[in-house]
A and B are shown apart, each in its own frame.
Chain A
Amino acid sequence: MTDAPVLAVRGLSTQFRIGGAWRAATRNIAFDLYENQTIALVGESGCGKSITCQTILGLLPAAVARTEGSIVYQGRELVGLSDAEMETVRGKEIAMIFQEPMTALNPVMTVGEQIAEAIRVHRRCTKAEAKAEAIAFMDRVRIPAAAQRYNDYPHQFSGGMRQRIVIAMAMACKPKVLLADEPTTALDVTIQAQILAELRDLCANFNMSMVFITHSLGVVAAIADRVAVMYAGEIVELASVEELFAAPQHPYTRALFQAIPRVDETAENLQAIPGQVPPITAFPEGCRFAPRCPMRMEKCAGRPPRLAAADPASPHAVACFLHHDLALEEAAE
């Protein structure tokens, strides 16, 4: 843990041009990803998890989106790289897998060719070598009879199998970091568990780190080392899985835990969070969760709290005035 992080994100903000003005969809995103570790980004839909991942890979169209802050991958600054420079990073160094395996594959190309293409884009090798390697990868992600299925088209595979193909494509160049954007959300629960196990296994074997987006705390417990809880474009709590599950500090995190249905309680006890995530054009001035927060105080509406450890000795950071008095502006000074 003392070595430098593989991926260090600092003060990252993604802004979109909406009606002529630039509006920040995410603000002050900061986290470190260490080798062989998995960090989970958790939060409701629309809180900026996917945008953060797409920003890391520079996938957002420059005409409508811009990035502030810094993303350092193995000592190299990614913010500000040209598209051509980013192409050498994408896939080879940092790869991404998507939520919907049904649409993440080209329908008119065989799955084997798609994996082989991913291999050949970043590495000089013959078609035969790429094919052999693609079959090895299909085998690696447990596609039965991989060699025979090389020539099959995506529609001949089930959802779980397609997600394995998508993972094989992303793994094709042995990236150091894998961004997984809700890769198990579209799958049923048994397949979900298999895919999670698969991903954990691949991370360990290929010495790979992972940023795992999900809105399921159950999945977080199964895969992550650390968790960043996101709300309305900000990280509100950042802690190790153990600490977060043992003692969630931010009211939003606590509310998330209360929103998990439990067998031993009746449905009436299920706590929904009142209201909804504000749209990007109507983020509140101070703490963005304040309008929905059950423990709201007067100062919450004034200025945004900064993500900081309540106890300086602990890496468990939270952005809430209940736990400390540090505001975001003071951090900037």
Chain B
Amino acid sequence: MSAAPETLAIRPPAVWLRFARALWRTATANAAMMTGIALFLAVVIVAIGAPVFAEVDPLDQDLLARLVPPSPGHWLGTDAFGRDIWARIAYGARISLVIGLVAVGIAMVIGSALGILSGYMGGWVDQAISQATNILLAFPSLILGLMVVAFLGPSVPNLIAAISLATIPQFIRVSRAPTIALRERDFIQACRALGFSPLRIMVRHILPNIWPEILVMGSLWLATAIRVEASLAFIGLGVKPPTPTWGGMIREGFEQILNSVYLALFPSLAILVVVLALNMIGDGLRDALDPRLKESKR
């Protein structure tokens, strides 16, 4: 009835370790996810090591070298002020990643907390949170971000707040539904019968059961957050110039689009790479976590 004694020596891996292994298995078997991870890591490395990868200061204007096309001195050329585009893209990656990661991180924490609360408590708590979620979801995230930034003014904290607010409802949704399913499971009832407080049940028993789903959502919405940040910068509601942002660079490049197309092209490609990479990772994560999807694909 019990396991043979010799098998007892094998320690079962912790949940996160099992999850990490499942991820690794999927990643190695899934070329798209591998590519996504490689691309995203490359962007992160460029952002962190921006001063190393680009010797020139992204704010340095060289009026003698304006609108230089890609050349050995300036890999990706220079803009209308003679600033090095490669340096601006490298430093711009920092803004995009910091705003994206922090905004999605905040949205993840607040959104999952509200979603679990809503799903577990039910009743008027659920009603209130769900209705608020529906109202927020009625706005496209860009419009919502636009309204908040227009109201508060463009700055890094305000952009983070705007993008978080736009992303929170997604996390509420993705955590509420599985919570409702879990709430009816016997082990949650057993926790209640043992006198565990609702807070303990939500944090210790529900969250660990649904966080893989939240993580998948996080990777997909990180891509959206970066896109929204770039869009806001493009319409002039991003971090103020001269700080380099990808969206801002596209906007500036747009004015020169007829004679120097690469001004807008390169930052666009940077956004494309990051969003593509994150979507590849997100799809891979979902495959790793949803065995049904995996079956149907192979």
Contact = CB atoms under 8 A, between A and B. Distances in A.
A61 interface: yes
Interface residues of B, number: 28
Contacts of A87: 195-197
A90 B193 contact: yes
B205 interface: yes
Interface string A94-120: 011110100111111110000001100
A160 B2 CA distance: 10
A121 interface: yes
A104 B195 contact: no
Interface stretch (B25-33, B183-191, B223-231, B275-283): B183-191
A151 interface: yes
Interface in B178-219: 185-187, 189-197, 200, 204-205, 208-209
A235 B194 CA distance: 27
Contacts of B15: 108
A103 B186 contact: yes
A319 to B, nearest CB: 30
25 contacts: A63-B123, A87-B195, A91-B193, A91-B195, A92-B195, A95-B194, A98-B189, A106-B205, A108-B15, A110-B12, A118-B194, A121-B195, A121-B197, A145-B2, A145-B8, A148-B9, A149-B8, A151-B11, A151-B12, A156-B3, A158-B1, A158-B2, A161-B1, A170-B193, A179-B193
Contacts of B153: none
Given A59-B189, A96-B193, A109-B205, 6 more contacts: A63-B122, A106-B209, A144-B2, A151-B12, A161-B2, A169-B194
A104 B186 contact: yes
Residue among A108, A109, A144 with max Cβ neighbours from chain B (10 Å): A108
Contact of A98 (B1, B3, B190, B197): B190
Contacts of B209: 106-108
Q: Which 7 A-B pairs have the closest CB atoms?
A: A91-B195, A90-B195, A91-B194, A96-B193, A103-B186, A148-B8, A144-B2
A166 B194 CA distance: 11
Contacts of B189: 59, 98
Contacts of A145: 2, 5, 8
Nearest to B187: A106
A122 interface: yes
A52 to B, nearest CB: 14
Contacts of B190: 96-98, 104-105, 166, 169
Contacts of A256: none
A153 interface: yes
Contacts of A91: 193-196
A100 B189 CA distance: 12
B74 to A, nearest CB: 53
B175 to A, nearest CB: 15
B249 to A, nearest CB: 45
Contacts of A172: 194
A108 B8 contact: no
Nearest to A118: B194
A202 interface: no
A61 B124 CA distance: 13
A314 B190 CA distance: 38
A90 B8 contact: no
Contacts of A72: none
Contacts of A122: 195
Interface residues of A, number: 47
A110 B14 CA distance: 9
A106 B203 CA distance: 13
A57 interface: yes
A149 B11 CA distance: 9
A216 to B, nearest CB: 20
A121 B187 contact: no
Contacts of B1: 158, 160-161, 191
A103 B186 CA distance: 6
B27 to A, nearest CB: 22
A63 B122 CA distance: 10
Interface in A185-210: 191
Residue among B8, B11, B187, B192 with max Cβ neighbours from chain A (10 Å): B187
Contact of A89 (B122, B187, B195): B195
A92 B195 CA distance: 7
Interface string A144-175: 11001101110010101100001001101100
A74 interface: no
A59 B2 CA distance: 34
A169 B192 CA distance: 12
B186 A117 contact: no
Contacts of B205: 106, 109
Contacts of B3: 149, 156
A246 to B, nearest CB: 35
Contacts of A170: 193-194
A281 interface: no
Contacts of B11: 151
Nearest to A100: B186
Contact of A156 (B12, B123, B186, B195): B12
A88 B196 CA distance: 9
A122 to B, nearest CB: 6
B187 A103 contact: yes
Contacts of B186: 98, 100, 103-104
Contacts of A61: 122
A57 B12 contact: no
Contacts of A143: 2
A95 B189 CA distance: 12
Nearest to A154: B187
